[in-house]
Structures are given as C-alpha cells and as structure tokens.
Amino acid sequence: MLKKYKEQDFKKLKEISLDRLFPTSISVGLMGLLIFSGAMNGFLLYGVLYSPYVNNPIWDTILPISIVIFIVQTIITIFFFNNKRAFSYQYFQSIFATFVILKVSTEGYYMFFVIYEDKFAPTYVAQIGIATFLGGFIFLIISIIRAIKRVKDGHFREGGKGILNFSESKSYVSLPIIFGITMIGGAISRLLSSSDYAVSTLIELYFALFLAAVIQYALVLVWPEFLLLAYCKSKFKSFEIEQPEL
C-alpha cells in the first residue's frame, strides 16, 4: 500500500522521529504506559480475587493472559529504558510501541467492567460500555485510513503538516467527540429515568467509562504515527538514528 512512496515522501516524519519520537522519548512513553497498564491489571486482579460479585467466566481467560502479557511488557520496557539499547534496537522498539499503545488503549475498560459487575449495574450500562469500546476500533480503522491518505496527499513531505494537524481535520477530530456526546446523552437520559439504582453508583460507572474512552480514543489518535514510524525504520536506512555522543 505504501511501497511506491519514497524516502522524500516521509521527510516530515523523519523530523518528528528526531523530536517527540526520538528513541529515548519513546522509552519514557513506554514507561508511562507500563505504569498505567500495571494499575489497570492490578485493579482487575483485585476485583476478580476479592469481589464475590466479579465472577463472569470471561475473567478466567482474560486475567491470566493479561498478566502474562503485562510481565512480558515489563521486561521489554525495562530493556528499552537503557539508552544504548533503545538506539541499537530502535526498529524493534518502534514495533513494540505500536503493540503496547494498542494494548493499553483497551485496558481502561478493565476498571469500568469490574465496577459494573461489582455494583450490579443495569445491563444497559454494559451495553454503552461495549458500544464505546467497539467505537474505538472503528475510529482506529478511520485513523489508519486517514494516515495513509495524508501520506498520499503529501503531508509527510518536507514542509508538510504531518498527521496531527487537527486544524485541517476538524471533521476527523470531531468524530469521537460527537460519538461521545451521543453516548453520554443517552446515558444521562437513562440515568435520570432510573429509579432502581443509586445515582452515585451510576455516576461512578460513567466516570470510569469516560476515563477509559478518553484514553482509548487519545491513543488511537496517535497510533498511526507510530505505525508509519515502524514502517519507515524498516524501509529507510536514514530513519536509523545514531545515539548522540555525551
């Protein structure tokens, strides 16, 4: 899909790779994602082990897999936190970053669904959560298509505006906002009409869902840039950055 594009078509991305996508900057970002991932996995582990109400059989599969992946994530993140290794294996670091960002984008929902089960919340709350979660994957597909289109339109050539120039992409940025407002509006209307559940409990759930959605959609927004970076590091020798001398 991108094979016909040459190195000059990614000059803007090369500039970005020397700035916010510098190997050491990515290492710091990976550490931040690891901390968040640890918090979400810890929340899930605590809920499954200590709440008698969090007993959906699906957690018997998700929990051990998630813990194992988190352990692997921890080992690799610590490996790349060394500057020399970050530069020496920067291509693999970029691939790892694309995986971790996608993984972490979904983990905020651990908190939401654990609280949902623990509080015996109504079914429609879970349905809103699932719809929001799936909406994030639809937005991911849109983000990938948009990134490829911006490459084709020359936005990554020298002097281009890259992928995160939202002043020219108002309709794209507004998609998750409109979707979020629609979901929140529906949730509020159900909240006001519900008399069987404590308002404070539902507010707690919606707040957890809001946080999960913001994290998911924000990470999905930037994910294609990391995908393009990994592609360019695999194809163009100039994207291999030398470690600065101290």
Say yes or no to pLDDT of 113 above 70: yes
Cα distances (Å, whole numbers) of residue 108 to 33, 37, 78, 92, 121 = 11, 8, 22, 26, 18
Q: How far apart, in whole angstroms, are the C-alpha atoms of residue 101 and residue 223?
A: 7
The arithmetic mean of pLDDT across residues 37-65, rounded, is: 95
Split at pLDDT 50, 70, 90, the class of 41 is very high
Of the two residues 1 and 33, the one the predictor is more confident about is: 33
Averaged pLDDT, 169-197: 63
The sign one gets for the Cα dihedral 243, 230, 158, 222 is negative
- How many residues belong to the chain? 246
CA dihedral for 20, 39, 41, 56, sign (positive or negative): negative
Model confidence at 191, pLDDT cuts 50, 70, 90, reads: low
Which letter does DSSP use for residue 153 in this model? T
**Euclidean distance between CA atoms 182 and 192, whole angstroms:** 16
Complete DSSP assignment for 101-112? HHHHHHHHHHHH
Strands (E) across 95-215 are located at none
0.85 cut: is pTM over it? yes
- Tally the C-alpha atoms within 13 A of residue 91's C-alpha that lie toward its C-beta: 10
The angle, 0 to 180 degrees and rounded to 10, between the axes of the packed helices 23-50 and 58-80 is 150
